Amino acid sequence: MKTTFEILLIFISYLLGSIPFGYIFTKRFVGLNLRKHGIGYTGLSNVRRFARYKLALIIHLCDILKGLLPVAGIFFIEYNELYTFDEFFIYAIGLATIIGHSFSIFIKFKGGKGIYTTLGASLLLAPYSVLTSLLVYFLVKWSSGYISVGSICLAITLTLTGLIIPNTTYLFLYFLVCSAVIIIIHIPNLRRLMDGTENRSG
């Protein structure tokens, strides 16, 4: 029974993460299918190309919340002693939302590149890591001019902060997987960077 309940929570978190807000909102309010425009992703970079500023902010907030809320829910359950989870479980919930965002069941297992949902899912788990990685992201993005370079550096920073936080093996492994997902999805960007053809908003 316990295993069934936990698997159900992970599946629900994946479904929540899979909601493609970028795809839904831009198609509804802009009339564009993000899967067929720009770089073909439904996340940060492509949304900014086609959505109005306020709409892009709403989409980014939704992507953050769909990572944050499932993790917050587990914290709430444990704080009120409604159920006892294993230590690793909350990280599994966070990963489920991130995987859902990047490989959404609703749009043929495509999606965004995971940045905002990763930050949302990680905010309660390691707030200082999130703030540090965000600082690195903006510094690198500003100095290089490339969102993709900033995103990759953000991912690497998350993993490095996981190394220096004591007694947090699961957190480090969680960040390691998060970073791997982000970097793997950014492989086309890395290729374009090496070819000198990367778009600065990519």
Q: What is the mean pLDDT of residues 58-64?
A: 91
CA-to-CA distance for 108 and 103, rounded, in angstroms? 8
Tell me which DSSP letter residue 29 carries. H
Higher pLDDT: 36 or 199? It is 199
Q: What is the mean pLDDT of residues 142-160?
A: 93
Map out the domains of the chain as residue ranges. Answer: 1-110, 125-202
pLDDT of residue 55: 79
What is the distance in angstroms between the CA of the first residue and the CA of the last residue of the chain? 45
Q: What is the mean pLDDT of residues 168-184?
A: 94
Q: Are 59 and 22 in contact (CB under 8 A)?
A: yes
Whether residue 109 is predicted with pLDDT greater than 80 in this model: the reply is yes
Q: Are 155 and 113 in contact (CB under 8 A)?
A: no
pLDDT of residue 39: 58
CA-to-CA distance for 59 and 157, rounded, in angstroms? 24
Q: What is the mean pLDDT of residues 114-119?
A: 94
Whether residue 149 is predicted with pLDDT greater than 70 in this model: the reply is yes
Angle between helices 147-164 and 187-195 (to 10 degrees): 120
Predicted structure pTM score: 0.89
Question: Where residue 113 falls among pLDDT bands split at 50, 70, 90?
Answer: confident
Q: What is the mean pLDDT of residues 107-133?
A: 93
Whether residue 44 is predicted with pLDDT greater than 70 in this model: the reply is no
pLDDT of residue 37: 54
Question: Where residue 43 falls among pLDDT bands split at 50, 70, 90?
Answer: low
Whether residue 47 is predicted with pLDDT greater than 70 in this model: the reply is no
Q: What is the mean pLDDT of the chain?
A: 88
Question: Where residue 34 falls among pLDDT bands split at 50, 70, 90?
Answer: low
| Weakest mean pLDDT among 23-27, 33-37, 69-73, 130-134 | 33-37
